[in-house]
Amino acid sequence: MKTRIFLLVAALLAFVCGYARAAERTAPPNIVLIFIDDMGYGDIGPFGSTKNRTPQLDRMAREGMKFTSFYAAPVCSVSRAQVMTGCYGARVSIPGVFPPGSAHGINKDEHTVAELMKTQGYATMCIGKWHLGDQPPFLPTRHGFDHYFGLPYSNDMMKKAKINGQLVVPLVRDEQVIELLTNDAQNRIVERYTEEAVKFITQSKGKPFFLYLPHTAVHTPVHPGAAFAGKSANGRFGDWVEEVDWSVGRVLNTLRELKLDRNTLVMFSSDNGPWLIKGADGGSAGPLRGGKGTTWEGGVREPTLAWWPGKVASGSVCAAVAGNIDFLPTFVKLAGGTVPTDKKIDGKDISPLLFGQTKESPHEARYYYHGYKLQAVRVGPWKLAIAPQSEGRKKGDEMVPASLDKPRLYNLDADIGERNDVAAAHPDVVSRLKALALKMAADIGDGQPGPGVRPAGLVENPVTLYPTEDGPKRKGAAKKKSPPAAKNAKPVSHDALKIGDALDGEAAPQVANRLITITCEVEPKSPDGVIVAHGGKAVGYSLYLKSGRLMFTVRAGKEPTSIAASETPTGRFSVEAALAAGGQMRLAINGKEVATGKNAGLLHRQPQERFCVGFDDAVPVADYGRASKFEGVIEHLKVTAGVP
């Protein structure tokens, strides 16, 4: 009898243990995505940094996989849109960066990775920088995340709070502003994000979870915590990199302590390259050329690691081309779900790369978009540049010329720094990559949105998340009177700008609800080309040549208003374009009025796109015809933004 009972108990235990092992094998994995802001390819130990100590990331690389050709986007909102939707930013009409109080953001109709993970029973949380719109319909909790804690945009987008007159950024929990952080208060931001991450992992250990941890670090202004300030050999930037490394270690150690490590995939990457213009606070691209805001390798190739003990081989390296557009299809596949087919995405499932089942990229090609402009394409080791590129080292950086007719070709395996143009030696490769570029341009577009582009989200009457003195007002706030300025404000000279230069944010002309006058001298060498452009398909203005005629377009809604000169002289001539009170438009050549018209009014808000000289790099304000790049001379450029 005792023997039979013993055998029965032994069999039962064996069954339970076997069932538990089988359940462990089939349980959907937890997924953690740690996403750093403005970290360069050369900023951490696994990718060659000797300035910054990163022992936790070094260990992560030893225990996991290093991706050496992993791509993001030139700037942050675009990159984050790619993570969330699995699409190139241009496909979902997110070509640039959203400022506070923007009317645009991620569209509610897009399938986000968080939504798709949630349908598989996952607990979801976003902790950190969101930057896909700060209006309620755009916040993380409206796009698949159960909870949110963090800054809704970059830490340098500070505005004066009406309550105290201080420059602050809002710290948000779910959809409520819980604190207004001054510069000094940002010193604890990595620590606070890490505490929230550990708390979420601990509370969610009983079910599968998806944690998206997009750090504010290491974006400027740089704010290392007290425990790290002054401790590195690389100044305050190195201090913050080392605090990020500590944070990664806390997350990985929490998974180990809770015995979740063998069923959790952790990915580490960055949104774009280092902000080289910031000098010592801007980071390093290591051996790569260029930085943030560019489509050179240094602007978009990111230091990326994958860690999953028992699943991802220790010390492995993947050289196949992959990118953050691949996160969505990969995570959804691992969670046991399927990606809906009602909307085209660009990402591919890279789990075969993670598990060492292949060394081949699932992508036909990698496309390098800057705004809506396709600037380069990569296949295998070959990268073809088909548009002018800046290195992003300083304002007004000289553009390195390229075009579809005269492209540059690099073999990235032999020339990772993109210094040796070998186009002349490989005409067959050039031809093959050109064909792929034209194929993608026919889908997403090249300079103008193509038929495969879907709209961004849009709200009417956007407001800032907290009452400010210098930004969009909250509903119900009293209108602030215009300052007692002269009707004709002092012109701002942009004569130092060259063709190919662009101004962002506050450096661009501030034209919301202002009278606009543009003056310059031009000497065109082509009948088509943009002189200046500022804005996109919602709001903006553009002065340009089309089929030999000087034109001025203003857009303050879906339909633009354009006026054109009946005749335009050859050679050198002066130009004046104006948007006056009541929306009156005027165009003059050599001091003589040549065209007038009327728009619906002044521009009701500041364009979110860059102010561009000689080109239009985002959603074009107007239809430029055959060519958008100006060939010739633009001099003595001035823009006046006057109070009505």
Active site residue ranges: 76, 131
- The position carrying tokens 């919602």 is 538
SS3 123: strand
Omega cis (within 30) before 575: no
Residue partners of 511: CB distance under 8 A and separation at least 6: 534, 541, 603, 606, 607, 641
Residue 484's φ and ψ, nearest 5 degrees, are -75, 65
Quote the Cα angle for 509-107-121, to 5°.
140
How many residues are listed for the chain in this entry? 644
Quote the Cα angle for 404-543-472, to 5°.
105
- The position carrying tokens 């569209």 is 107
**Are the beta carbons of 381 and 411 closer than 8 angstroms?**
yes
Residue partners of 16: CB distance under 8 A and separation at least 6: none
- C-alpha neighbours within 13 Å on the C-beta side of residue 573: 18
Quote the Cα angle for 114-120-124, to 5°.
35
Amino acid occupying residue 533: A
* Cα–Cα dist 391/293, whole Å: 8
The DSSP code sequence of 533-570 is EEE-SSSEEEEEEETTEEEEEEESSSS-EEEE-S---S
**Are the beta carbons of 571 and 589 closer than 8 angstroms?**
no
Q: If you compute the radius of gyration of the chain from its CA atoms, what whole number of angstroms results?
A: 26
- The position carrying tokens 């450096």 is 507
Amino acid occupying residue 110: E
Helix (H) or strand (E) holding 113: helix 113-118
Comparing CA positions, the residue from 94, 631, 40, 555 lying closest to residue 300 is 40
Distance separating the N- and C-terminal Cα atoms of the chain: 101
SS3 304: strand
* Cα–Cα dist 564/149, whole Å: 50
Comparing CA positions, the residue from 418, 287, 306 lying closest to residue 353 is 306
Beta strands in 336-423 (DSSP E): 366-370, 373-379, 382-385, 408-411
Helix (H) or strand (E) holding 515: strand 515-524
